[in-house]
Amino acid sequence: MLRPRAAVPVMVALVGAIMVACAYQIGDNPSNEPGAQDATTQDENGRAVAPGVVRERERTPSPTPLPRDSEGNVILPCNDILVPVDKEHRLPADCTPAELVALPAYAVNEPQYLTPQAADAFMVMAGEAEALGLEFYAASSYRSYWEQADIFASNVEQHGFEEASRRSAQAGHSEHQLGTTTDVVTPPTWSLSGFYGTPEAEWLANNAWRYGFIVSYPPDSEHITGYIYEPWHIRYVGPEVANAVHHSGLTLGEYLHAIWW
């Protein structure tokens, strides 16, 4: 994998960021929250972490050890929205979300499906953005393992394996299989490439976390994530975790690795 494993710097940044994040309530000034910086607890290693993060980890403890496939990839458990899906960690082929709902609006192409929590958050986010004069729509949301296999094969055919691996995930390694991730587009181009540099892309980068979403593959991070900058690719992790990721300075993958293991 292309992501360097600088464990100590990442963990130091993570701990500091989570403690800062505890002082924030989404969209509020931390000065309005007396004592918020004291609202921390500790994980099993004695590190100060946000209470919401601890609750998530206690709810879905990581099995030890996790199984690996024939290529050495770690096989992640299904239906945990915080699993670190990446080039070395994948979902089982038969992993599908426990429940998916079709977005009633702000969707293009064909019906777009997300988990209920992600769908509700996306609708609120898109609606509030629209009130500011911004338009974006879900264009590619939940994908099965086999749909992702077809997409990756098509990219390999068009671009070759190396370039395809920068632009898309192999089957099982896509965050779209979680049902909490969507790609978004905006008029007039209605294309992913047309989303670069738009006001909508800038707004999402600065505000998606307020609704529980994070841009998974930010600019200048391909050496960490293994993927090109994708301003259109957002993943729902819930408001508390998204808040902590945003204030950590880490990529989503770095943050999830640090809290998940």
Q: Enter the tokens of residue 139.
A: 């264009």
As a whole number, the mean pLDDT across the chain is 83
Q: Is the pLDDT of residue 120 over 90?
A: yes
Domain 7-260 -> CATH class:
alpha beta
pLDDT confidence tier of residue 198, bands split at 50, 70 and 90 = very high
Q: Taking the CB of residue 204, how many other CB atoms lie within 10 A of it?
A: 26
pLDDT confidence tier of residue 16, bands split at 50, 70 and 90 = low
Give the lowest-confidence range in 21-25, 37-41, 208-212, 242-246: 37-41
Cα 55 to Cα 43, 61, 232, 260: the distances in Å are 10, 10, 29, 12
Q: What is the pTM of this model?
A: 0.77
| Every domain of the chain and the residues it spans | 7-260
Q: Taking the CB of residue 202, how many other CB atoms lie within 10 A of it?
A: 12
The predicted pLDDT at position 260 comes to 82
Q: Is the pLDDT of residue 246 over 60?
A: yes
Which entry of 175, 230, 240, 254 is annotated as an active-site residue?
230
Average pLDDT over residues 161-178: 97
Average pLDDT over residues 51-75: 65
- For the question of residue 88 being annotated catalytic, the response is no
